[in-house]
Amino acid sequence: MKPLNLAENIPLALQTTLGVGGAARYFLEASTPEEVCEGVSWARSRCLPWFILGGGSNLVVADSGFPGLVLRLGIRGISWADDGLEVLFTAGAGEDWDSFVAHTVAYGGAGLECLSGIPGTVGAAPVQNIGAYGQEAGRAIRRVELLDTETGAVETFERERCAFGYRTSLFKTAARGRYVILRVVFALIPRGTPCLAYADLQKYFAGRLPTLQQTRDAVREIRRRKGMLLVEDDSDCRSAGSFFKNPLLRAGQLAELQRRLAVRNLSIPSYPSLPPQQAKDRAWRGPREAQHKVPAAWLIEQAGFAKGHTLGRVALSRKHALAIVNRGGATAAEVIALKDAIQDAVQEQFGIALEPEPVFLGFE
């Protein structure tokens, strides 16, 4: 028996911010955990692949589309409990992420303000462990409620079990495809001070101590200038966000690369992989050896791909070299061609393999 709201042959380009790709063979809106279970069970009973769609902001869909079930989460609701020491916000996986952050900031909860302006849904935050300007969602997450699609049970995972790392988690690696996030609980600091760990924000406020709301507004403005904020008539926003992760290099690797680049009179920018306050947090230690982030955008531009570089109907954003944008009518094949050209050039010139951030659907 088909789920009640099941649709067929739904174009997925319209469901993504990049705007490329074919249709989903089946498509289902699920607004309750029960509907999620029903949809997944229906697909599994027919040996169909299935995919959970959030806001479509970190997704590249193949031109051939997806031959299985795309299930879009619509689980809503935000609640909170404040004991004076921390405030716990619980949000449905289908809640818009930026609207949720706005809610926490308006309440006075510190811990997510620098993640303002990131498109997508609450349910995608733990999977990707979204991060920006010195904050990561994984540090604020207390627990997640999820559906185990292998057993059909609804479970709760505490933060430690989620294996959060730089732009990754258990749900993106070892347990990829097994769990569906239903709700997320965040532990924030009531009436806390904003995080000003990154130079962009320090420069913006020039020594002033802003409020949480002022910090949120600043982050959104900085993202807008870089084309990383969804704005109605800005063609540079028709992207999947940052297309490549910033590479992490060990100290020895960085020193060797600096020596190689010295002959070209280049000095590669880098910064610690964790802001100082995070590096001191024993519960949030990454690899034992210190690592340094190298800006992927710098590598891309130095490899010969300037802002606005165009290939067919796709291009790099005119505001930020880290975003591949659809200039209108582009295909997924064109996106992949530009991605491959950038990766090949950076690998050849710097010996660094750039790792894409978006999810690629239908390319298997």
Q: Annotated catalytic sites, by residue?
A: 167, 242, 357
The C-alpha atoms of residue 303 and residue 349 are separated, in whole angstroms, by: 7
Return the H-helix or E-strand segment holding 69.
strand 66-73
Contact predicate 28/5, CB 8 Å: yes
DSSP assignment of 245-310 equals PPPEEEHHHHHHHHHHHHTTT-----EESS-HHHHT-GGG--SSS-EEE--HHHHHHHTT--TT-E
- From 173, 7, 30, select the one nearest 93 (Cα to Cα): 30
The C-alpha atoms of residue 263 and residue 26 are separated, in whole angstroms, by: 55
Helix or strand or coil: residue 92?
A: strand
CB atoms within 10 A of CB 48: 14
Helix or strand or coil: residue 116?
A: coil
Write the CA distances from 255 to 167, 201, 260, 275, 355, integer angstroms.
Answer: 24, 28, 9, 20, 21
